[in-house]
Structures are given as C-alpha cells and as structure tokens.
Amino acid sequence: MDYIVFDLEWNQCPMGKDFANPRLPFEIIEIGAVKLSESLEILDTYHALVRPSVYRQIHYQTRKVIHLTMKTLMQEGRPFREVGREFLEWCGEEPRFCIWGTTDLTEMQRNLDYFRMGNLLPGPILYEDVQKLFAITYETRKDRRALSYAVDFLGLTDEGGFHEALEDAVYTARILQRIPNACIEKNYSIDCYRNPQDKEEEICLRYETYEKFISRAFSNRDVMLADAGVSQVHCFVCGKTVRRRVPWFSEGGRNHLAVGFCPEHGFVKSKVRVRQDRDGKFFAIKTTKMIEEEEAAEIRERQRTKANRMKVQG
C-alpha cells in the first residue's frame, strides 16, 4: 500500500450556480499528488493540467485563488478522461488516499462519474483526512485549520505559495510525515459518495472512542429510520442493545439523537445523520459513543423542549 496525497484545483460556472451543470458543479482543472511509502518516504510526484470541456471561462472567485489562465489550460491541459485514467494508474493497485479536508475525494469521484469513468474508483473509500489528523495531533479533535495555518504552525518553509495543486499536495504530505503512525492508523475516514446499496455492503467502523455505522440505501426516509440497524442503540463498550432513556428526536431535520443506558457501562449516545445519495435514496450515518450522566441529562432536556414545542404548535 502507498499513501497518495493529492490536491485538486477546480473551476465552476462563471455565471453562477443557478446556471451550473447539476451533474458537475465543479470541474477539475489541475491535479497534483505525492506518493508516499508506508513509512511515509516520498516515492514520486504527479502533476497535470486538465483542459476544460464544461466551463470555458474562469469564475471570478476561482480567479482570485488559482494561478492559471484559461489560455494556459486550453493550450497545456489534456482531456479529463486521459488525465483521470493516467492519475489513477499512477496511484497503483492499493492506494490510501490522503487529502486536506473532505471535498477533493468527492469531487474526483463526481468528475469521474460525469465523464463515465466511475468504475475506475469504486467506493465507499477509506482515506486519511490530514486536516483532521493535524487537529487531533496538535490541537483538539474538533478544530479545522487552513493548510497555510498548519504549514506555519509546523514551521515548514513557504516557498511555493498555495492554491497550486502540486505545491499544496507537497505541503500536505510534509504535514502527514509529522503525524504519528498510530494516529494515522486509528483515525482514518470514509467517503460515502458511493454509499452502500444493500445490507451486505453496510459498514461498521470502530474507533478508539466511538463507532460509526453506515446503512444501506432506502427509497423511503421513514423506513430507513425504522430499520433496526439504524434505530437500535448499542453500548459502545460491550455491544449489547440497550434500552433508550431518551427516545429518538430530530435536531435540524437531518440529525437525530437518542440516549440509551447500559447497566454495566453507563450512558451511550447515538446520533444519526440522514444523507441522500446520487439517486435520491436515503442512507444513515450513525455514530455511537459513551457519555457522562450530565450530557445525557442535557440531551433529555433538549428532547423535552422539542416535544413541548411541537405540542404547542399542534
């Protein structure tokens, strides 16, 4: 296995999102990547410009951050079908993708789909979010910093600037080299652009402090929420199904919370985030973790407030 640290630059509809192609809101125009060994030694680099075929003018916001012109892209870029295939072949047979944040991997898959190449990168995909790993190692798990901040924090030389795909990939790789191996191995992420479609494909990942379950796709949201795999609350420690002390309730429409109690290990919180896939079907991302009694009481009060508000409105 090799680590593939990559960065993308993309363009969008110059006339605004109302006129954008809904199948390709962001068109990749540059790919930069660094290949690292399992011991995080640099093995190779990759760089390519992509000749646009959907958006032939650069959006004014894109123009503010990238260092490319449309003339350069049209003269030096190659079609995405050629570049995309070449890049994935360069990545090798068992790549572990590494990106700063979460969006680049999604946009890569979206571009592959648009150009009818989605079969080249099946998912869901395990990957390393270096932005998250930096936060866990040097700050707090919830912090999310810009790449430039991390470069400055670690004292890395800023010679090439930012928002050039290969330079950003190199910076991200150098930051990854400063993350403990144990942190990398224990805190991988999963991209669900291609989500599970049946029960056999459902995913359950266990981390040090929480568990993540990704359900199959359902045509109906209510049926999904009633599914046992989604609705049951399990103790994170022993795995037993526990009685709910706080019933499922909705926060903001897409997020649902419940609290259970394990007689042996205490309170457990389950959170379900409702997502829709490319076909409009619904799937759930459920996280489960142990909590203190004080947090359980605070969630119970939120549930009661929500229930009372609904009674008044009814």
Alpha-carbon distance values, 243 to 57, 234, 297 (Å): 57, 9, 16
Domain 2-189 homologous superfamily, CATH: Ribonuclease H-like superfamily/Ribonuclease H (3.30.420.10)
Give me the pLDDT at residue 250, please: 92
Alpha-carbon distance values, 108 to 139, 141, 158 (Å): 29, 26, 27
Give me the pLDDT at residue 161, please: 64
Could you give the CA distance from residue 274 to residue 270 in angstroms, rounded to a whole number? 13
- Return phi, psi of residue 130, to 5°: -65, -30
Q: Tens digit of pLDDT for each residue in 225-245?
A: 999 999 999 999 999 999 999
Give me the pLDDT at residue 313, please: 67
Alpha-carbon distance values, 3 to 89, 146, 297 (Å): 14, 21, 43
Residues 6+ apart with CB under 8 A from 126: 96, 188, 189, 190
pLDDT at 55 over 80: yes
Say what percent of the chain tops pLDDT 70.
98
The residues of the chain that CATH labels 3.30.420.10 are 2-189
Q: Tens digit of pLDDT for each residue in 166-192?
A: 999 999 999 999 999 999 999 999 998
pLDDT at 314 over 70: no
Write down the mean pLDDT value for the chain. Answer: 93
Q: Tens digit of pLDDT for each residue in 115-156?
A: 999 999 988 899 999 999 999 999 988 889 999 999 999 999
pLDDT at 160 over 70: no
When pLDDT is cut at 50, 70 and 90, the band that residue 199 belongs to is very high
Q: Tens digit of pLDDT for each residue in 59-96?
A: 878 887 888 899 999 999 999 999 999 999 999 998 99
